[in-house]
């Protein structure tokens, strides 16, 4: 019995301390997902294919051409297909829905608030994201602030990378989601 207790002690000690280890480098995700999403911006001529639209713009700009000054002040609303690989035409496993805001006048920087709504054989649930996106960097980290369904109460970090960019009409983001709280 004493041995059991010692084992239990040791086990609970491990569990308790693994919850708040001393150095961040030691953390290992409890779950990881890599997904892609594809954004086709409405430009006045691609209504059939567009998955996003400019809905707000600063004074003097309009809703079919991204604003000058690094698109500062544009808000775009999107409903983008999510795929398992980098092919726009792969079968979507869900939709990325929300908005991005271009928020800097002297470089490309966006602010993101959006959700992944996943509905496939592998995953069913939503993941909620928020954070700053300095788009000129190779990779950027944003926060996974919550989730539902398969991702109930999850938290983590998503590392996003611009996987393709075609003028002001199309971009594709690679999203490497690492959950550190999985429930």
> Nearest-CA neighbor of 158 among 40, 39, 36, 18?
36
Cβ atoms of 52 and 41 within 8 Å: the answer is yes
Chain-centroid distance, C-alpha 64: 25
Binding mask 70-99 vs a second copy (x if CB under 8 A, - otherwise)?
--xxxx-xxx---------------x-xxx
Stretch touching a second copy by CB under 8 A, among 32-40, 66-74, 83-91, 163-171: 66-74
Distance CA 7, CA 112 (A): 46
Which positions from 160 through 179 interact with a second copy, judged by CB under 8 A? none
Stretch touching a second copy by CB under 8 A, among 31-39, 81-89, 109-117, 162-170: 109-117
Stretch touching a second copy by CB under 8 A, among 31-39, 81-89, 107-115, 166-174: 107-115
Distance CA 161, CA 32 (A): 16
Size of the site for a second copy (CB under 8 A): 77
According to CB under 8 A, which one of 33, 40, 156, 177 is a site residue for a second copy?
156
Cβ atoms of 164 and 178 within 8 Å: the answer is no
């Amino acid at each position: 019995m004493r041995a059991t207790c010692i084992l239990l002690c040791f086990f609970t000690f491990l569990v308790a301390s693994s919850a708040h280890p001393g150095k961040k480098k030691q953390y290992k995700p409890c779950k990881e997902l890599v997904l892609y999403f594809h954004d086709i911006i409405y430009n006045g001529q691609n209504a059939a294919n567009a998955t996003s639209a400019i809905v707000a713009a600063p004074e003097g700009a309009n809703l079919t051409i991204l604003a000058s000054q690094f698109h500062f002040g544009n808000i775009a609303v999107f409903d983008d297909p999510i795929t398992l690989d980098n092919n726009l035409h792969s079968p979507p496993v869900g939709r990325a829905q929300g908005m991005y805001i271009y928020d800097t006048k002297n470089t490309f920087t966006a602010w993101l608030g959006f959700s992944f709504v996943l509905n496939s054989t592998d995953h069913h649930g939503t993941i909620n994201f928020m954070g700053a996106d300095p788009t000129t960097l190779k990779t950027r980290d944003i926060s996974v602030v919550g989730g539902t369904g398969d991702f109930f109460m999850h938290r983590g970090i998503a590392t996003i990378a611009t996987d393709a960019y075609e003028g002001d009409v199309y971009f594709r983001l690679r999203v490497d989601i690492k959950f550190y709280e999985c429930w």
